[in-house]
A and B are shown apart, each in its own frame.
Chain A
Amino acid sequence: MMDAIRLLPIVGVMLWMLPLFWSATAGNVEPVRTSTAITYVFGVWILLIFIGLGLWSMLTGTIEIGGSDEDEQRGSTETQ
């Protein structure tokens, strides 16, 4: 599941860069409506937030990341 945390931003970039193709097709097709654009961009946003939230609740305590200042002080006195 760690890989999910690493991959999420890449998914985000891909989805949010999709509008690049909208402007490319603007010439022959009817331009994308702003309401559609709003729905799409905010939809992706909410999706990413929920995945992030889900990953956080699933992986809390299992992944290795640094602690707080207090942990650090305790740790440093122990090791010295």
Chain B
Amino acid sequence: MSLPILLAVFAIPSISIPLVYLAGKKSPKAAAFFVALIALVNIALVMSTIPAILSNGSYAESYTWIPTILNTEFTLYLDGISASIALISLVLMFVASIFSINYMEGKKNLASYYALLCMLSVGLVGVFLTSNLILFYFCWELMLVPAYFIVGEWGYRNAYKSAFKLFIFTHAGAVFVLLGIGAIYYLTGYTDMFQAQTALMTAAPDIIKWVLIALTAGFAVKMAVFPVHMWLPDAHSEAPAPMSALLSGVIISAGAYAILRLSFGIVFPAVGIAFGTDFLHSLAIVGIITAFFGSLLSLVATDIKRVIAYSSIAHMGYIMFGLSLFPVALATGNSVLLASASAIAIVGTVLHIITHAASKGLFFLTAGGVMHQTEQRDIRKMGGLAGKMPFSAVSGTIAALSISGAPPFACFISEFLIFVGAFQIMQVDTFYIIPTALMLIATVFSLAYSLRFISKVFLGASKDEPGAEEAHKTLAEHIKAEAHKIVDVPSYMKASLAILVVLVVLIGIYPAFFMNLIQTVQFGVPVG
């Protein structure tokens, strides 16, 4: 038995929740640093398992838990995919808490805010950290509670309404997830993912197809793909910026991770190749519709955060499309090492979860900074901010360009891998020719909305949009009245933006760290 590293990743934030609250009562700043410190410690802990993951493919710890009821021990498990996503989640958590110092300044009940943030980090990391289905579901729901309260209590406009939408939708999705997990337990008698998967391979009843559908549909709500996206634009645009960054950056991507881990990891190898292929095709269609839908709506949105929220929907479309390129060979029970050429798309998809998290976090935080400094959220009333907020202009531009898939920024390399993988699969499955072509076209739209964002917010406003003239007048008045007031974001915000800028550029130029991790993973039937 080695050191309880992963248990510590759970325990440290859990134990700290009341401490953070107490610290927050004294000084919100201290609480923010507390949360950031916890994230840092957790980053260090997860990093310490990486050598083991690189050499053995995984890192696991087992503990006994509720032994009498479910006669099983629960396993904390990290492999290349979950470790890399957990790392980026923790980085975002760190950045979000630092950002909150300036952003939330002067708001009420900050002690509760930071305590909830700390609680969120337990659930958020826990989802990626376990191979036990019950613990997974527990963490899955644990993410939702703090998210609901943070959006509702510290959000904008009809915040509780948006939070309520978030809660109802994701919870409805979770019901399906629970059904799926229950079915897996019922069919196999195991709560451990790998044991369940082995058991399913030996005896898979026909109903397993429905389990796959229920699980995937449930997770799809979290991803907010079309047509279950309705909650996202409200929740993400009304949440406070640090929470938007976490929601759009990692929480919705947790849905994609869960599809990969549960739907594909456990159930998919049992469904057979014919159904498996069709199932993947339907995911590809959902992905395409989502990508176009999100991009088009983002192209005309006038609310600064809604532009970004719709872009998140579009990117979930990319990720869904990437997931649909999952090696269908698995459905015959063959195992597939992600490092093989047939799985390039999945490596790209996982990498895209990471790059999108960093870029979208940066995007939302920059937008939050702009809102904080200008007290505006209508992009028609902005413009020319590059002169007044050069730092935010640089970080916003980098975020927007990365989101649009322009090299050398992070999202390019992952999108590139998804496309290369898509071409690989075309060779064996001609269905993918049209979807891939459409997804390529969708990148033009993502460039369009990204550039529109940059032009409208940071550069001088253009006048070719309906209603812009009026907004222009308001802008002139606004600038006259506020010109002396608008300054660049304060230092803690700058620091957190800078971290993400460095990350986005670094991953874009040299993605080897994450790629090495991701490529250690093997999906399919464990041999022996």
Q: Is B a genuine binding partner of A?
A: no
A residues contacting B by CB (< 8 A) are none
